[in-house]
C-alpha cells in the first residue's frame, strides 16, 4: 500500500477520492447531456428520460441516509470496495439496457449506493489530510462533481453524438474498474478516528431533531431545486433557445460546467469563514443573487444573448452552498455526540439530491403542461424558500449567541 503524505494536501489518496466523486457525478449528471439522444434511441418522450434524473435523485434521498447510518457498523475499506462494485454493476446494466424500464432499474442501482459511497469517502479526511486542510479537502473532493459537469458531461455528449450513448456508460465502467484497482492499493485500511461500529442506527437519526441540521438541509434542498429547475433541461435550452447547433452543444456544456467549477472552488473559501453554522449564515447574498437571476431568466427566454449571460451567472452559483453546508453538518454532528459521523458526511449530497428530485420533477411537469420557457417559475419559488431557511438559521445563531 502507498503511504499517506499528510504534509502534502493533494496526495494520491485525495486525488482518488476526487476521482470517485467525479465518476459518481458523471454517472448521475450524464443524463442531462444526452436527454434527446436517449429519448430517440429508446423511443420515449424527452420528459420520460428527464424523469430518470428525478428517479435517481429520489432513490438517492430515500436510501442514502440508511446506507450512511448502517455503514458506520462496517469496516470502511472493504465497504468502500463493495459499494464500488455495486456502482459498477448499475452502470454495466445501463450500458446494455434494452428498454426504458431496464434503464430505470440501472439508474436505481447506481442511486442506491452513490450516497453511501460519498459518505464513506469523506470519512477518510482525518486519515489523509491534517485539520488545517479540512475545508480544502471537502471543496476539492466535491469538485469532482462539478468537474464531471465541466468535462464529463460535454465529453459524454460528444461521444453520444459521434458514436452512441451506450459508449459513454462503457467509458464510465472502464474508469470505475481502474479506480477500484487504485483504491485497493492506496487507501489506508486503518482509521485515524475512533470507529462507531456499535452506534445504534436509530440514535444516529436523532441528528434530524437538531434545527440547525434541518435548516441547513433546507438551504441545500431548495438551492439545488432552484438550480435544477433549469439545469435538467440545459441541453434543450442551449439548442432551442440559445440556438447552439446540436453538434456544438457539448461546448456550451463545457462553459456552463467551468462556471460551476469556479463556484465550487469559491465555495471552499466561503466555508473557511468560520466553523459550525457561521459560514452557512452568510449564504443569503448568494441565494438572493440566485433569486434575482431566476426572475430575469423567465423574462429573457426570447433573447438568446441575455439568456446566455443569465445561465452563466446561475451556473456560477450552482455549488456555492456545498462546502459551508458540509462544515455545518460535520461540526454540529461532532457537538451532539450521537456518533452520526457517516450520516453527517452524507447529508450535503442527500439534501442536494433531494433538491435535484424536487427541481427536475417540477421542471418536467412545467415542460409537459405549460412549456419549457416557463421552467424558471418553479426556480423562483425554491430560491425564496432557500432564502427563508438562511434567514431562520441566522436568527437561530443570534439566539444561541445571546442564550
Write the DSSP symbol of residue 190.
S
Among residues 169, 104, 121, 130, the alpha carbon closest in space to that of 6 is found at 130
DSSP 287-321: HHHHHHHHHHHHHTTT-HHHHHHHHHHHHHTTTTT
Count of beta carbons in the 10 Å neighbourhood of residue 8 = 11
Q: What is the pLDDT of residue 71?
A: 77
Residue 20 included in any domain? yes
Residue 395 included in any domain? yes
Residue bearing cell 470496495 = 81
Q: Does one domain contain both 132 and 266?
A: no
Among residues 313, 316, 297, 315, the alpha carbon closest in space to that of 373 is found at 297
The C-alpha atoms of residue 253 and residue 235 are separated, in whole angstroms, by: 8
Residue 5 included in any domain? no
Q: What is the pLDDT of residue 76?
A: 83
Among residues 211, 234, 90, the alpha carbon closest in space to that of 153 is found at 234
Calculate ∠ Cα 362-147-55, nearest 5°: 30
Residue 117 included in any domain? yes
Q: Does one domain contain both 182 and 262?
A: no
Q: What is the pLDDT of residue 86?
A: 94
Residue 214 included in any domain? yes
Look at the chain and report how many structural domains it folds into. 2
Ordered mean pLDDT values, 10 residues apiece, the chain (403 residues): 60 86 87 80 85 84 83 83 94 91 92 86 75 70 74 76 86 95 85 53 82 93 92 85 81 82 82 83 92 92 89 90 86 76 79 88 87 87 95 84 55
CATH number at residue 300: 1.20.1250.20
Residue 1 included in any domain? no
Q: Which of 131, 162, 194 is the last residue of a domain?
A: 194
Q: Does one domain contain both 29 and 167?
A: yes
Domain limits for position 62: 11-194
Q: What is the pLDDT of residue 274?
A: 77
Q: Does one domain contain both 119 and 30?
A: yes
Q: Which of 148, 175, 194 is the last residue of a domain?
A: 194
Q: Does one domain contain both 95 and 77?
A: yes
The C-alpha atoms of residue 356 and residue 31 are separated, in whole angstroms, by: 13
Q: Does one domain contain both 361 and 284?
A: yes
Residue 105 included in any domain? yes
Q: What is the pLDDT of residue 284?
A: 92
Dig out the grid coordinates for 305 from the structure.
444573448
Residue bearing cell 403542461 = 369
- Burial profile 372-381: b = 16 or more Cβ within 10 angstroms, e = fewer: bbebbbbbbb
Q: Which of 194, 220, 246 is the last residue of a domain?
A: 194
Q: What is the pLDDT of residue 202?
A: 74
Residue 347 included in any domain? yes
Count, in order, helices (H) and strands (E) of the chain. Answer: 19, 0
How buried is residue 295: exposed, middle or buried, by Cβ count under 10 Å (0-12/13-18/19+)? middle
Q: What is the pLDDT of residue 180?
A: 95
The C-alpha atoms of residue 366 and residue 142 are separated, in whole angstroms, by: 30
Among residues 298, 263, 231, 297, the alpha carbon closest in space to that of 31 is found at 231
Q: Does one domain contain both 173 and 282?
A: no
Q: Does one domain contain both 346 and 250?
A: yes
Cβ-contact 393, 213 below 8 angstroms: no
Q: Does one domain contain both 161 and 54?
A: yes
Q: Does one domain contain both 234 and 178?
A: no
69: Cβ contacts below 8 Å, ≥ 6 apart? 201, 204, 205, 340, 342, 343
Q: Write down the pTM of the prediction.
A: 0.78
Count of beta carbons in the 10 Å neighbourhood of residue 147 = 22
The C-alpha atoms of residue 24 and residue 111 are separated, in whole angstroms, by: 9
Q: Does one domain contain both 83 and 231?
A: no
The C-alpha atoms of residue 155 and residue 280 are separated, in whole angstroms, by: 33
Q: Does one domain contain both 92 and 205?
A: no
Amino acid at each position: 500500500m502507498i503511504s499517506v503524505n499528510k504534509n502534502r494536501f493533494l496526495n494520491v489518496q485525495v486525488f482518488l477520492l476526487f476521482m470517485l466523486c467525479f465518476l459518481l457525478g458523471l454517472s448521475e449528471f450524464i443524463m442531462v447531456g444526452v436527454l434527446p439522444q436517449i429519448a430517440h434511441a429508446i423511443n420515449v418522450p424527452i420528459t420520460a428520460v428527464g424523469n430518470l434524473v428525478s428517479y435517481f435523485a429520489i432513490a438517492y434521498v430515500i436510501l442514502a441516509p440508511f446506507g450512511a447510518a448502517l455503514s458506520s457498523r462496517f469496516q470502511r475499506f472493504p465497504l468502500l470496495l463493495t459499494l464500488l462494485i455495486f456502482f459498477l454493476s448499475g452502470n454495466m446494466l445501463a450500458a446494455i439496457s434494452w428498454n426504458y424500464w431496464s434503464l430505470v432499474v440501472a439508474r436505481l442501482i447506481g442511486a442506491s449506493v452513490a450516497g453511501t459511497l460519498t459518505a464513506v469517502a469523506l470519512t477518510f479526511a482525518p486519515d489523509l489530510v491534517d485539520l488545517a486542510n479540512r475545508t480544502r479537502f471537502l471543496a476539492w473532493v466535491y469538485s469532482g462533481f462539478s468537474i464531471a459537469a465541466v468535462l464529463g458531461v460535454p465529453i459524454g455528449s460528444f461521444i453520444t453524438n459521434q458514436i452512441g450513448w451506450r459508449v459513454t456508460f462503457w467509458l464510465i465502467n472502464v474508469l470505475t474498474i481502474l479506480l477500484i484497482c487504485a483504491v485497493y492499493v492506496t487507501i489506508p485500511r486503518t482509521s485515524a478516528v475512533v470507529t462507531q461500529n456499535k452506534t445504534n442506527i436509530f440514535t444516529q437519526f436523532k441528528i434530524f431533531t437538531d434545527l440547525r441540521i434541518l435548516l441547513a438541509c433546507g438551504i441545500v434542498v431548495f438551492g439545488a431545486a432552484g438550480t435544477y429547475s433549469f439545469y435538467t433541461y440545459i441541453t434543450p435550452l442551449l439548442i432551442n433557445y440559445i440556438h447552439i447547433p446540436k453538434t456544438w452543444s457539448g461546448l456550451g456544456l463545457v462553459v456552463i460546467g467551468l462556471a460551476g467549477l469556479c463556484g465550487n472552488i469559491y465555495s471552499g473559501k466561503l466555508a473557511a469563514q468560520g466553523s459550525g453554522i457561521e459560514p452557512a449564515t452568510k449564504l443569503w447574498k448568494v441565494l438572493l443573487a440566485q433569486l434575482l437571476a431566476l426572475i430575469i431568466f423567465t423574462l429573457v427566454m426570447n433573447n438568446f444573448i441575455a439568456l446566455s449571460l443569465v445561465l452563466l451567472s446561475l451556473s456560477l452559483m450552482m455549488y456555492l452552498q456545498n462546502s459551508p453546508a458540509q462544515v455545518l453538518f460535520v461540526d454540529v454532528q461532532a457537538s451532539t455526540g450521537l456518533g452520526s459521523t457517516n450520516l453527517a458526511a452524507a447529508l450535503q449530497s442527500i439534501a442536494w439530491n433531494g433538491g435535484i428530485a424536487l427541481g427536475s420533477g417540477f421542471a418536467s411537469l412545467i415542460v409537459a403542461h405549460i412549456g419549457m420557457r416557463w421552467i424558471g417559475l418553479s426556480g423562483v419559488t425554491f430560491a425564496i424558500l432557500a432564502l427563508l431557511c438562511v434567514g431562520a438559521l441566522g436568527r437561530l445563531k443570534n439566539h444561541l449567541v445571546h442564550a
